[in-house]
Amino acid sequence: MTGKFISLEGMDGAGKSTHIPNIIAMLQARGHEVIPTREPGGTALGERLREILLHENMHAETETLLMFAARREHIDRVIAPALARGAYVLSDRFTDATYAYQCGAKGVAAAKIQLLEQWVQADLQPDITLLFDMPVEVSIQRLATARSPDKFERENAAFFTRIRQAYLQRAIENPARFSVIDANRPLEEVKKSVEYIISTL
């Protein structure tokens, strides 16, 4: 048995996490075991690395290496076993986020990330990636009223613009995997788009 691997991506403030409970409920109603998880994180070690990554300043390449260290544990302990037993893995971010944040926004060479991706993941990729897209200014407005921001959420508009551009480029390069969702709409409309995509799996 093999399950399905679903990832959710988008800028901070795009609202992707809001839709996770509904996606879980939809899949469970169809009889699937669902494993919700997140990156960085997903394991005990990954969660410890998450705190470091979100709050400690470091070289962008150090950040990238730590992301992939957490990802290696995540795949080994959570993702691969779940997929092998036929479960659906629902991950709040995966490797596309590294291309968006560390490559697109911080300038780490894509070739270096590709080497790490091949080493850590081999041929593992999400079956589908939901990219929640919205204008940068809307994302920043949402973050201004959110919880205490982490180091990424405190960045400026130029940083978020680079992230958005990198995500959209990933979608262009991987059209069979990506579904781009206009997240700058009323919540119910976005929810219906998500429900439609999940219903086609």
* Number of domains present in the structure of the chain: 1
Phi, psi of 150 (to 5 degrees): -85, -175
CATH number at residue 66: 3.40.50.300
Q: Cα–Cα distances in Å, from 45 out to 36, 71, 104?
A: 17, 10, 26
Average pLDDT, the chain: 94
Q: Cα–Cα distances in Å, from 188 out to 19, 143, 197?
A: 10, 20, 14
pLDDT tops 70 at residue 147: no
Which structural domain range is residue 76 located in? 4-199
pLDDT of residue 1: 60
Strands 178-182 and 128-133 come out as parallel
pLDDT tops 90 at residue 139: no
pLDDT of residue 146: 65
pLDDT of residue 151: 84
Mean pLDDT to the nearest integer, 72-80: 98
